[in-house]
Amino acid sequence: MPKIVDHRERREAIAHALWRVVEQQGWPRATMREVAHEAGVSLGQLQHYFSSRASMLAFAMEFAAEQTSSRVANGLAGLGQHPHPRDVLRVVVTEMLPLHPDAHTTSRMNAAYVLEALHDPELREVARAGLREGRDLVERLIRQAIADGQIPSERDPAIETDLILALTGFTPLLELGVIEPGAALAAVDQHLDRLFSGS
């Protein structure tokens, strides 16, 4: 009986191979031939699933986003029922920082994705849509916290949203060893404490 191929599983395996190539060699070396070799498939097989390097990257980023969402969901589940919005925001921000191996890989893929999206209009629109969705989620949390009196009412929710998202700018500092993870976490905690205390 012929073997049934799980196409989603094969595409995910190729995405993981792309992650490994980017992690070990960088995005410029992540050619379709190199990724096919890493995935243990022929170039023709890889092209059956992805017609171009950009489409392969787009799927890899979609899969990475799913993994990040799963990590965030697990972190939120650990907060119990009715978690404080400060704790929710902390989970969201820290899971976007390269603080453990999975997040390191996602971080480097994100960097490659942004660079590629700058020159590919289709990827740029996909990237912008994903970032807007994430930003909208954070702004809804902040607006609700203001409405509930947990953040001072004079705070501008749009500005506070942008400041929260700016904390993810620690990524290159962490990746290049300019600061240690503990320093990034301390800054995140202090910002959230100030936001929710009104000081």
- 185 with 121, same domain: the answer is yes
* Whether residue 5 has pLDDT greater than 60: no
Residues 57 and 79 in one domain: yes
Higher-pLDDT residue of 192, 6: 192
- Judgement on whether residues 141 and 45 belong to the same structural domain of the protein: no
Most confident by average pLDDT, 26-40, 92-106, 110-124, 134-148: 134-148
- What pLDDT is stored for residue 198 in this prediction? 62
Q: Please tell me whether residues 29 and 67 are part of one structural domain.
A: no
Q: Which amino acid is at 3?
A: K
Same-domain status, 176 and 98: yes
Q: Per residue in 31-52, pLDDT tens?
A: 999 999 999 999 999 999 999 8
> Which residues are within 8 A (CB) of 43 and not within 5 positions of it... i.e. 6 or more apart?
32, 33, 36
Both ends of the chain: CA-CA distance in Å? 69
The answer on 106 and 171 residing in a single domain is yes
The count of domains in the chain is: 2
Do 141 and 170 belong together in one domain? Answer: yes
Q: 45: domain CATH number?
A: 1.10.10.60
Q: Looking at residue 2, what is its pLDDT?
A: 47
Q: pTM of the prediction?
A: 0.82
Q: What is the mean pLDDT of the chain?
A: 89
Same domain, 86 and 72: yes
110 lies in the same domain as 144: yes
**Are residues 47 and 79 part of one domain?**
no
pLDDT tens, position by position, 131-160 = 899 899 999 999 999 999 999 999 999 999
Is the domain of 17 the same as that of 80?
A: no
Domain limit, last residue, from 51, 70, 88:
51
For residues 68 and 81, membership in a common domain is answered with yes
**Which domain, by its residues, includes 4?**
1-51
Amino acid at 146: I
CATH classification at residue 62? 1.10.357.10
Q: What is the share, in percent, of the chain residues with pLDDT greater than 90? A: 52
